[in-house]
Structure 1
Amino acid sequence: MRKSKVKKVAFYLLLAFILFYLLFPFYWAVNSSLKTEAQIQMTPATFIPRDPVTREFSPSFHNYRVIFDNQQFIRGVWNSTVVAVSTTALALTAGSFAAFALGKLRFKGRKPALYMILAMTMFPQVTVLAGLYAVINTLNLSARLSMILSYMIFTLPFTTWVLTAFFKGLPPALMESAQVDGATPFQTFYRILLPLTAPAMVTTGLLAFIAAWNEYLFALTFTSIDPGARTVPVAIAYFGGAVARQEPFGEIMAAAVVVTVPIVLLVLIFQRRIVAGLTAGAIKG
């Protein structure tokens, strides 16, 4: 009995450490975003915003007012929304068709095609950046379209791979019954199988959205000659201080909090479908 209690205590201590390790950076970002420049420079650093003189609790929303008055940041949020939503929609559309074919149809080269798709996810982004940038310049594509197409390189293979496993787990009797009723393969896919993949679609779609929303390397490269198309990670990186050589740390933290909140809300809203998508196919019976 004593040994089981020790294990339980150790488990909860480990859980508390992991929770602290994951949440502390976000807490520190919120804490720093509520401080003025003088409060940020206080030593030792304070875990809550305090007045430099009275040491009383004194939060400030100045950094949030500044970033929402910053047209560069607002434009970056809009660009990120357009690019991330477009990338997610294209990845889910193309990925669901490919996953249906790879998971339910039988044709030559199906397994090699699936392994090639998996292999595409193993290449680091930087290895394809130079060649991709040359192709984009040759085709003279806009910065936003360039980002959408380039983000498909790492969102589409992942989406296809996950959805293929989900389609494979659907009972074959569903497709057979639809064929007996005279449904075409497309009707079977669109009207019967696709609605059943909603948990997997939400899971892969959200992960694809987060990947496109947070991407920095491609966005920095493709918007180098078109500053108006900068996404929000690049816009934050270009924040300038009120005076020369000043790092606007508080504003950067405030922008980071604002950018993170939509992702957290999406996860909270779709958490049940995300869990269902991640655990689909784990139990067979």
Structure 2
Amino acid sequence: MSTVVAPRRGAQPAAVDRPGSRQQTEVTRLLPNWLLAVVIALLALFVLVPLSYIFLASINSDISVARGDFWPAVFTPDNYANIWSSVGLANGLTNSILVAGSTAIVSAALSIGTAYVLVRYQFLGRLTIMRGLLALQSVPGTLLVLPVFVLFSSAATYLGIQVIGTRWGLFVTYLTFALPFSTWVMVTYLRGLPRELEEAARIDGASSLGILTKIILPLSWPGIIVSGIFAFLLGWNDVLFASVMTNPESQTAAVALQIFATSTEGGAIPYYGQMMASALVCAAPVVILYLFFQKYLVGGLTAGGVK
């Protein structure tokens, strides 16, 4: 005969470590609180000190920056007004946004359909295609500059199509490198989605296209955002291909900054203030992009980490 002991009146129930509770956090944390605060402070200083110097130099005179002054004697916003005429930043930013933005959108749109076929269907050559996508990531871009340039130059000679010096030629170049990476990111993401949702939709009579657009696409926004942002950064930060594939009308912001820095090196006092101001202006769209899609980035980068 078993005896059940009832809890005493007024007794507190035993604490249960719920997921995300304070007890569980203290147990699983690798560093103590004081050491974690020190590490975060050092990382913040490591990032904020160079950014502070760049910002202060952008509102300082060129002579003061060349002299090594950290704090400006006179705060002046003239550098931010001069860069639009001296650097030609307006044209460069427009080309960068058009080329990098279109690369991000098209690669993200094509990658989800390609990844869905590679993950959900079995066909001859499927593993070969997936291994080829992975192998393409290990090819350095510097090895492909000359072949790509020769190929696009030949298009003007043999086909009468001008590719070098156009925005769409640079777009095709970036898409060649961004699409394999975006597809592999979406393959990894779609593997974590449950098949039961698709099976239930097929029972209700949904087609493969309907499943892709109405079920897979809404659930895949974190992965789509991640692949799109990485494709955008590929076109935004590139200097190598943009230097040989563009002309003054189609050059990107990165090329405009490089040309401006090279042309002012031989002067008595380089335009340090305008260089710093241009760098901050070019970095602003990327920072805004990260801040706007931050929640999607966290979900997309951690997807598939726990099965």
Q: TM-score range by the shorter chain?
A: 0.7 to 0.9
Gaps of 5+ in 1: 52-57
- Are positions 1:161 and 2:161 aligned together? no
Gaps of 5+ in 2: 1-28, 157-162
Question: Quick one: which amino acid aligns to residue 107 of structure 2?
Answer: A
SS in 2 for 1:229: coil
- In the TM superposition, 1:1-285 aligns within 5 A as 7-42=32-67, 45-49=68-72, 51=73, 58-70=74-86, 72-140=88-156, 141-143=163-165, 144-223=167-246, 226-239=247-260, 240-241=263-264, 244=267, 246-284=269-307
Separation in structure 2 between the aligned mates of residue 174 and residue 207 of structure 1, nearest angstrom: 28
SS in 1 for 2:191: helix
Point out the more displaced range, 19-28 or 170-179.
19-28
Separation in structure 1 between the aligned mates of residue 274 and residue 82 of structure 2, nearest angstrom: 7
- Contact 2:87/2:257 (CA < 8 Å) preserved in 1? no
Q: Which whole-Å deviations, capped at 9, do the CAs of 1:224-273 have from their partners, x for residues lacking one?
A: xx211110010111124499464222111101100111111111111111
Shift of 1:20: 2.1
Shift of 1:41: 2.2
Separation in structure 2 between the aligned mates of residue 190 and residue 147 of structure 1, nearest angstrom: 29
Change (3 A) 1:23 1:123: farther
Question: Quick one: which amino acid aligns to residue 159 of structure 1?
Answer: S
- Contact 2:66/2:269 (CA < 8 Å) preserved in 1? no
Point out the more displaced range, 135-144 or 227-236.
135-144
Question: Quick one: which amino acid aligns to residue 183 of structure 1?
Answer: A
Q: Which whole-Å deviations, capped at 9, do the CAs of 1:20-68 have from their partners, x for residues lacking one?
A: 22333322221211111121122xx33322x2xxxxxx21111101013
Separation in structure 2 between the aligned mates of residue 211 and residue 25 of structure 1, nearest angstrom: 23
Larger radius of gyration: 2
Change (3 A) 1:83 1:10: same
Separation in structure 2 between the aligned mates of residue 220 and residue 178 of structure 1, nearest angstrom: 49
Question: Quick one: which amino acid aligns to residue 184 of structure 2?
Answer: W
Q: Which whole-Å deviations, capped at 9, do the CAs of 1:161-218 have from their partners, x for residues lacking one?
A: 1111111111111111122122221111111111110111112211211221111100
Separation in structure 2 between the aligned mates of residue 92 and residue 192 of structure 1, nearest angstrom: 17
Query: Partner of 1:55 in structure 2?
Result: none
Question: Quick one: which amino acid aligns to residue 156 of structure 1?
Answer: L
SS in 1 for 2:123: coil
Shift of 1:220: 0.6
Change (3 A) 1:108 1:101: same
Change (3 A) 1:190 1:75: same
Change (3 A) 1:111 1:243: closer
- Contact 2:84/2:90 (CA < 8 Å) preserved in 1? yes
SS in 2 for 1:212: helix
- Over the matched positions of the two proteins, sequence identity in percent amounts to 29
Q: What is the number of residues matched between the two proteins?
A: 270
Superposition misfits of 4+ residues, deviation over 4 angstroms? 240-246
Q: CA RMSD in A?
A: 2.2
Shift of 1:9: 3.2
TM (norm. structure 2) is 0.82
Separation in structure 1 between the aligned mates of residue 225 and residue 248 of structure 2, nearest angstrom: 32
